[in-house]
Structure 1
Amino acid sequence: MTPKLAVGLTIVTVIVLFAVIGPFLLPDPRGISDHLLEAPSAQHWLGTTRTGEDVLAQLATACRGSLIVGVIVGLLAVVLSSFFGIVGAYIGGLADDLFSLFSNVMLVIPGLPLVIIISSYLPYKSVWLVAVVLAITSWAGSARVLRSYTLSVRSRDYVLASRVAGEKPWRILAVEILPNLLPILASQIMQAIISAILGEAGLAFLGLGATDSLTWGTMLYYAQNGLALKQGAWWWFIPPGLCLALFGAALALINFSVDEIINPKLKAATKSELKRWKLEEKAGKAKSDKQFGTAASAAQA
């Protein structure tokens, strides 16, 4: 296991455990108290909001909400991209042309403006609805990548041998083609989850997120409306922003590791680049030491 993969998995595991266990151990995130906008203390580890709500309890519930959105969007996006990319490329002919045309149309549609328009016209928006809207606007690019890989895999000898042997198309897709695409699918799931969480946070920050739900984006939205930055209530907006940054960075590290597994040349190139950088650093240090020694000798003379 590479250091990048270990760090990424550790951060993701901690955040997921906090999202799963935290809401059961902490008080009601919507519970109002007399402790208004208090700094972190023994009673409230991350302080309170302007209405006395516990920030740590809200953060645990927000972690769960954001992760639910990310997982739903990741799975739906992969299912859609696999159907329009893998199935269409394997069938070929008119089906591939129609699937490719539909993917191209969806690819040129601006995702975020469409999501904003849809969200602004819906009076009540659940987490599931926001996740479905984000998934519909985020699968086309992955479908294009899967289509190109499937076109390459379907012409290999073992796939052609399975066709000649009379294997059913679904079995060829599931047994012969899909295992070769699993690393790509894993990388696309990571990217879809990152994009979904950031997209939902952006919508929630604009006030277009899920109704009556807590996510990292809604916490930032309420902190902005509560003038947390102006009043110096750093404990209200820094924790959700830090969770967003850490979780996105952790998934990016995992995604980089998956890319290195898919393409061993990338790992070799990274190692050679690191080695070259170290050699240049040593050469620069030796050159600076030599110049320092020459200057010292000239000063003594």
Structure 2
Amino acid sequence: MAEKNSSFSQSDGSSGGQGASRADLYREWVDMALLTPIRVAWDDWRTQVGSIIIGFYLLLGTVGVALVEPPVQGQGDRYVPPFQDWSVPLGTNDIGASILSATVHATPPMLQMITAGAVFSTAIATVIGTVSGYKGGLTDRVLTTFTDIAMTIPGLPLIILLAALFEPTNPAVIGILITINAWAGLARSIRSQVLSLRDHSYVEASRIMGAPTHRILVDDIIPNIMPYVLINFVNSARNVIFGSVALYYLGILGGVHENWGIMLDGAYNGGAIYSLDVLHWLFVPMIAIVGISFGFVLFAQGTEKLFNPRIRARHAETVEDDNAPYQQ
């Protein structure tokens, strides 16, 4: 009986140790995959400020549109200055519509354009540039030729032509349209970086060990180019902002949705650049455009350290001390 009790206690101890080990592995994975990147990014003031700015615009485009009524004619008197009538805190335009309402309700379509355009151009460039640079040979020649053709097509005339042909109204489609060939230059730059990375010792070691190509790209190549990709993602987002505003301002895109470019066009035609009494009509959308661009730039600069393995290791928490009782 003593031997049986002893055996039962040993088996219980081993099962408890295995359970603790699985829990520790799960905790370690959560720490490395989720918590460590957050600690690394939040350690930089630029990330903090950029996150606050981007979060503000996200709230503006979700909660704000539910709290602020849409802009309509006659919400107040014409050309009310800002901070004079708190029913229209940022003033009104030439038809008495609230400028605050117009700015808030222009935010959701803008966020959709930014997301669709930046993700489309960055994803296409990363895939084509990485595969082209790593594979070489016929694959490289075909993808490079395709990229060169895309680079030779003038971007603005192509966008104007496609906008006139299809007359898109969906913000996501407009975002992709604005970046229809913007990915080409980034793809060439990524290809050049991958060409210098593919002969490094750690990449060669993965090939010798028989790692498949997609694992080498995901584990060894892409993490080393991610800071550059992230910066260009932000640049693509800023290009979508400025491009959409310009196209709406010029009247190339239809005015189905509220847009800061339409507000700028209305302010210009309404004489905002000639009269101080209506200058707020011009300044409010300009501040909205500059603010979101500034937030993206700060966020990208602050998150560059995310892909530095030494910095990530410094911020990672270990569970070795917690495992000590089970290792004895």
TM-score of the superposition, structure 1-length normalised? 0.78
Change beyond 3 A, Cα 1:256–1:136: same
Aligned counterpart in structure 1 of residue 198 of structure 2, from 125, 137, 154: 154
* Deviation (angstroms), 1:258: 5.0
Change beyond 3 A, Cα 1:110–1:259: farther
2:237 is equivalent to residue 193 of structure 1? yes
3-state SS of paired residue (2:229)? helix
State the one-letter code of the partner of 1:66: M
Structure 1 runs (4+) deviating above 6 angstroms are 260-263
2:51 is equivalent to residue 9 of structure 1? yes
State the one-letter code of the partner of 1:55: I
2:170 is equivalent to residue 126 of structure 1? yes
* Deviation (angstroms), 1:90: 1.7
> Any conservation in 1 of the 2:92–2:98 contact (CA below 8 Å)?
yes
* Deviation (angstroms), 1:259: 5.7
Distance 1:173 1:147 in 2: 12
**Residue equivalent to 2:297:** 252
Aligned counterpart in structure 1 of residue 215 of structure 2, from 171, 179, 187: 171
Distance 1:21 1:250 in 2: 19
2:60 is equivalent to residue 18 of structure 1? yes
Distance 2:166 2:274 in 1: 32
Distance 1:99 1:62 in 2: 38
CA RMSD of aligned residues (A): 2.4
* Deviation (angstroms), 1:96: 0.6
**Residue equivalent to 2:271:** 227
**Residue equivalent to 2:316:** none
* Deviation (angstroms), 1:246: 2.0
- After superposition, the C-alpha distances for 1:113-143 in whole angstroms (9 at most, x for unaligned) are 3212322344454322221111212111111
> Any conservation in 2 of the 1:27–1:57 contact (CA below 8 Å)?
yes
> Any conservation in 2 of the 1:127–1:210 contact (CA below 8 Å)?
no
* Deviation (angstroms), 1:24: 0.7
> Any conservation in 2 of the 1:76–1:132 contact (CA below 8 Å)?
yes
**Residue equivalent to 1:55:** 99
Distance 1:251 1:130 in 2: 20
3-state SS of paired residue (1:58)? helix
Distance 2:223 2:76 in 1: 57
**Equivalences for 1:1-301 in 2 at 5 Å?**
1-30=43-72, 32-33=74-75, 35-40=77-82, 41-230=85-274, 232-258=277-303
State the one-letter code of the partner of 1:223: A
Change beyond 3 A, Cα 1:139–1:123: closer
251-260 or 179-188: which moved more?
251-260
> Any conservation in 2 of the 1:184–1:262 contact (CA below 8 Å)?
no
Aligned residues: 263
> Any conservation in 2 of the 1:44–1:56 contact (CA below 8 Å)?
yes
93-102 or 31-40: which moved more?
31-40
Q: Structure 1, unaligned stretches of length 5 or more?
A: 264-301
> Any conservation in 2 of the 1:209–1:218 contact (CA below 8 Å)?
no
Distance 1:33 1:4 in 2: 38
3-state SS of paired residue (2:106)? helix
Distance 1:65 1:179 in 2: 31
Q: Structure 2, unaligned stretches of length 5 or more?
A: 1-42, 309-328
State the one-letter code of the partner of 1:127: P
Distance 2:303 2:243 in 1: 23
Distance 1:27 1:245 in 2: 24
* Deviation (angstroms), 1:242: 0.8
State the one-letter code of the partner of 1:65: P
Distance 1:101 1:143 in 2: 12
Q: Percent identity, aligned pairs only?
A: 27
State the one-letter code of the partner of 1:244: I
3-state SS of paired residue (1:233)? helix
> Any conservation in 2 of the 1:219–1:240 contact (CA below 8 Å)?
yes
56-65 or 191-200: which moved more?
56-65
